A and B are shown apart, each in its own frame.
Chain A
Amino acid sequence: MSNTEEMQEFVTVTIADQMFGIPVLQVHDVLGSVKLTNIPLAPPEVAGALNLRGRIVTCIDIRKRLGLPQAENDHKPMSVVVEHHGEPYSLLIDSVGEVLSLRTDKLEMNPGTMDSRWREVSSGIYRTEDNLLVILQIDRLLDFAGGANVAA
């Protein structure tokens, strides 16, 4: 714990009761529920677009991306805004938790039995005291060239 270089901080978010970690340095904003503009014909993972202080942010439905069940109708998602290749994206999540500082050497490999869609976007798992934290790799998460068939 003495060497800070081995520490990494993650914002924890919850999606469908699963905890995920997003590297804190990549998180630009956390937004409450906002009005989305639907984008017809877009890949299914694209939930729409929103206006963040004059910037147009593309929203990604992580549930669809990860093949999780759809939320109930009255569900009001929050979003975490990240940047990818200079473009802002907002990831729809259920709720945001605390920021955890974790030792990089504690990161464990993705279990081989994990859904391939998850393995694709996760760089590993942390065991916290009462939860398992799946670390999301934003680059992979937002790179869904073959994404169209993921949620189909």
Chain B
Amino acid sequence: MDDLLSEFLTETNENIGIVDAALVELEQNPDEGSQIDNIFRLVHTIKGTCGFLGLPRLEAVAHAGENVLGKIRDKELTVTADVVTIILEAMDVIKEVLEVLEQTEEEPEGDDSDLIARLNDVAYGSGAAASAPAEPEPEPAAEPEPVAEERELKPGEVSEADLEAAFNAAPGPEDEAAEAESEVRPGEVSEEDLQAAFDAAPGPEEPAQEAAAAPAEEAAPVAEAEKPAPAPKVIPKKEPKAAAEAAPKETSLANQSIRVNVELLENLMTMVSELVLTRNQLLQMVRGMDDNEFTVPLQRLSHVTTELQEGLMKTRMQPIGNAWSKLPRIVRDLSHDLDKKIDLIMHGAETELDRQVLELIKDPLTHMVRNSADHGLEGPADRLAAGKKETGKIVLDAYHEGGHIIITITDDGRGLNSEKIKAKAIENGMATETELEGMSTQQIQSYIMKAGFSTAEKVTNVSGRGVGMDVVRSNIEKIGGTIELKSEEGLGSTFTIKIPLTLAIVSALIVECCKERFAIPQISVVELVRASTDGRSDNTIEMINDSPVLRLRDRLLPLVHLNDILRLETAADEVAEQSEAKGSEEFIIVSQVGAYTFGIVVDRVFDTEEIVVKPVAPILRDLSIFSGNTILGDGSVIMILDPNGIASKSGENVVGDHSVEEEAHRVSSESDKVAMLVCRAGGEEPKAVPLSLVARLEEIDVETIENTNGQLVVQYRGKIMPLVTVNEEATVVKEGRQPILVFSDNERTMGLVVDEIVDIVDDHLNVEMASNVEGMIGSAVIRGKATDVIDVGYYLQKCFGDWFGSTETAAYGSGQSAQRILLVDDSPFFRNMLVPLLSVAGYEVSTAENPVEALTMRDQGKNFDVIVSDIEMPEMDGFQFAEEVLGDDRWADTPIVALSSHTTPQDFDRGRKVGFSDYVAKFDRDALMNTLSQTLRAAGGAK
């Protein structure tokens, strides 16, 4: 057949299929403008092509149809069932003609003048439209013929029809039927059907059932069309017209999708990948040159390549249900073997992801579901005893989130037993008791996913979980995914898997470290920070006992030097030279692995590049630090860093440290732990100050210290910064560099002279002894040593009587009568800490140790302008307190600001819900000050 003609046939068949569907939709929603445009365009295309190919009959019908559609589009004609019917009729005629055309390559003879006249009547309104539905039947008579021809073409379908008819008519010789059926479509029988059939009737006719059940739907219309005689028995209610319509429609549907060999797709993908690389290479070459003749075509090439890449990517997408299809059977078998009752529920099976990824997660998923069924769920007796339903549930859920697909596997079984895992971890020497003591339940449970935790049998006995969960984890991590585990003993477990949608082509950031270039997948890069080690830029890398950290906005970011991690040793002096030259400037790639955020320090950052990830050679597979390698635009090979690997290299326990909930959990278990900076100043005994109050750690050259009005000052960042000593004994060193702690508040900064910065520790802070020494809050045991806790407020006051000037942190309405604050916090430390700060800011502060005490104050008739309340308190927590306050008229108008170490969005929401005016992180002094003045301003404005 003529290529042009065959193409036309395919295309037109497809278009008519679309038009059919769109017309039906249009009929239901006549006001939908986009549908009619689409239909009109398609019919117009058909008409145009027919004219071009010299098919006058088709052209005439299409033209008449187009006229009607044009009127509808121009709103000169309203969409009614009649109008749609007649257009559909025209489409049917076109379909018939196409059928014949396909067989004979000739337009069949025929007279459409009646149809065209009626179409024209509708279009130009002679009232004949009403008569249209009366005679829609003239054409269908022609139908059976072309279809019958098709039947010869596809003998398979005939037997299907026969089968169908035979099966429906009389359940007789099914075995034979089944045989015929399976010859026709051996692959079409899905497992569910098999299963259903199997469950329904375990008898001799079982194969027939299953076979017939599968294609029943498709077969039915075919049967009607092709075998009018037996068909009426099958579906007697349908009009022959409907049947006639169905048959050709099926061919057009078949034309819309084709089966392609996966290998072909893979090859195409590889080639596109190579194309992308070559494109990058060309771009790289041209980038250096100014305008030249290549620029424009190259841009176009680049554009087309991108489109091609995206398009091909789409062809590779498959619903995740494909990976799940075997699961019902597996679960069913397991439930039989194990004598358990199991419900497998699957949501989001249509969620699509890259074929390659799909293949890679298939096994881990199967494995995990098997685990859930085997070890997670209890037997029916145990379940009943535990007060659960007899039937256990395994829920699979998949959905897209960002560039990722999230899959969760939940069971309502027995969950994990932390105690046993702990015991096992200690037994295997993976952790010490002390280490485990400090871990959250999740962290402990995550041990089951660590390599070397235990062999299968043992874990099964111990925890009821886990043949090779470490293998599952490493498989998932290999494709750049993460897996989290949440389990509650007795209630079940949830595994959450997060994997990228595709692996083939990713955007990566190219960085340099020790003259070597590396790529970091863009997806794990949160932000880039430029920092220096000498205070010249805003961001300074500070050292805590040889561990570099960076103050990034309100948090402390642990840093790793890429050259340390990679053990890259360019001659040390060369590095020194280099850093000397560029003013020790460094780039920090803020990267996130699960909930763990850290910075990777590199020498330089280049731009981003689309890279094609290629797996590393097998002998390098053990290097967890690389996720692959690739060829850059300039033709050089580059290694792709895996932030997961870097994180674990840097010693962080990443596993199970992922979820936000868990983070919150962890915080709550450590809520009263405070990061304290321990230093020595004015005496041997250690002193401590909450790290959150320290703006910066500096070392200043002693020679720059000046003396004005008996006050030591230093020029710092273009301003004069007063220096204070902790007490009279403390002195500034004579020469060299003087470490100081910088406290900062907007424009004012103060330096506290210390002898040595010792460490930063996370510890419980209980000020056990109040101090009568000025400048000290009291003593606390930190790192097993009695440590004086510095009262920063005292020094601030000492330095600046007017520390809190007229900036926005000043108390609202200062100058008028002081605003009254009630501070409710069970920790004496914070009360001690905040009272001076707030008083200096000009507030009148009252304190209460707990909500009960605060409510007593209410009963005593005291009034405050604002209440600042902690959240975690014994007896009554902050949320209850807020409800209590709002539930009573006396203080209902008083705004309440929550002060908490829980600052996850969930907490925030909850806080707002119960009526907190605002929610401030416990250690964020600036935020507290701002919030207070804003809250008061808002409240003041409202009054």
Contacts and interface: CB of A to CB of B under 8 A. Distances in A.
Tell me what chain B mostly uses at the interface: helix, strand, loop, or mixed: mixed
Interface in B509-523: 516-517
A37 interface: yes
A43 B277 CA distance: 28
A42 B631 contact: no
A33 interface: no
Given A35-B636, A56-B637, A87-B617, A41 B623 contact: yes
Contact of A54 (B274, B616, B625): B274
Interface string A60-77: 000000000000000000
Given A51-B631, A56-B614, A37 B568 contact: no
A41 B622 CA distance: 10
Contacts of B620: 39, 42, 46, 58
A49 interface: yes
A51 B623 contact: no
Nearest to B638: A37
B403 interface: no
A49 B637 contact: yes
Interface in A46-60: 46, 48-51, 54, 56, 58
Contacts of B623: 39, 41-42
Contacts of A50: 637
Given A37-B638, A41-B625, A54-B274, A87 B567 contact: no
A87 B618 contact: yes
Nearest to A42: B620
Nearest to B639: A39
B277 A41 contact: no
Contact of B566 (A37, A41, A56): A41
Interface string B876-913: 00000000000000000000000000000000000000
B18 to A, nearest CB: 41
Residue from A35, A40, A50, A85 having most chain B Cβ neighbours under 10 A: A40
A70 to B, nearest CB: 16
A54 B278 CA distance: 9
A37 B639 contact: yes
A54 B629 contact: no
B942 interface: no
Interface in A5-60: 35, 37-43, 46, 48-51, 54, 56, 58
Nearest to B626: A39
B284 to A, nearest CB: 14
Contacts of B626: 39
B1 interface: no
A49 B629 contact: yes
A85 B620 CA distance: 14
B618 to A, nearest CB: 6
Contacts of B33: none
Contacts of B517: 37
Interface string A70-91: 0000000000000001010100
Interface in B254-288: 274, 277
A125 interface: no
A100 B617 CA distance: 31
Nearest to B612: A54
A102 interface: no
A146 B143 CA distance: 75
Contacts of A85: 618
A37 B618 contact: no
Contacts of A46: 619-620
Given A41-B567, A56-B614, A56-B629, A142 B638 contact: no
A1 to B, nearest CB: 39
B640 to A, nearest CB: 11
Nearest to A86: B618
B631 A54 contact: yes
B635 interface: yes
Interface residues of A, number: 21
Contact of B636 (A37, A42, A54, A87): A37
Nearest to B624: A41
A38 B516 contact: yes
Interface in B630-644: 630-631, 635-639
A58 B619 contact: yes
A87 B629 CA distance: 14
A51 B274 CA distance: 13
Contacts of B568: 40
Contacts of B637: 37, 48-51, 56
Given A40-B567, A41-B623, A49-B629, A58 B636 contact: no
A58 B623 CA distance: 14
Nearest to A39: B639
Most chain B CB atoms below 10 A, which of A41, A51, A58: A41
A40 B274 contact: no
Contacts of A49: 617, 629, 637, 639
Contacts of A54: 274, 277, 631
A53 B227 CA distance: 60
Contacts of B567: 40-41
Given A40-B567, A142-B619, A144-B619, A51 B614 contact: no
A46 B637 CA distance: 14
A43 B638 contact: no
Nearest to A88: B617
Contact of B516 (A35, A40, A87): A40
Interface in A96-135: none
A28 to B, nearest CB: 15
Contacts of A40: 516, 566-568, 625, 639
Contact of B631 (A39, A48, A56, A58): A56
A11 to B, nearest CB: 22
B720 to A, nearest CB: 47
A111 B636 CA distance: 42
Nearest to A142: B619
A89 B617 contact: yes
Interface in B717-767: none
Nearest to A40: B566
Interface string B559-580: 0000000111000000000000
A49 B623 CA distance: 14
Interface string B143-170: 0000000000000000000000000000
Nearest to A85: B618
Nearest to A37: B637
A41 B619 CA distance: 12
Contacts of B614: 56
Contacts of B625: 40-41
A152 to B, nearest CB: 14
A43 to B, nearest CB: 7
Nearest to A41: B623
A49 B638 CA distance: 8
Contacts of B274: 54
Contacts of B617: 49, 56, 58, 87, 89
Contacts of B631: 51, 54, 56
Contact of A51 (B619, B635, B639): B635
A38 B620 CA distance: 13
A57 B624 CA distance: 19
A59 B617 CA distance: 10
Nearest to B569: A40
29 contacts: A37-B516, A37-B636, A37-B639, A38-B516, A39-B639, A40-B516, A40-B625, A41-B566, A41-B567, A41-B623, A41-B625, A42-B619, A42-B620, A42-B623, A46-B620, A48-B637, A49-B629, A49-B637, A49-B639, A51-B635, A51-B636, A51-B637, A54-B274, A54-B277, A56-B630, A58-B616, A58-B619, A89-B617, A144-B619
Given A37-B517, A48-B637, 19 more contacts: A37-B629, A37-B638, A39-B620, A39-B626, A40-B516, A40-B567, A40-B568, A40-B639, A41-B566, A41-B567, A41-B623, A42-B620, A46-B620, A49-B639, A51-B631, A56-B637, A58-B619, A87-B618, A142-B619
Closest 6 A-B residue pairs measured CB to CB?
Answer: A40-B566, A58-B617, A37-B637, A49-B637, A51-B631, A51-B637
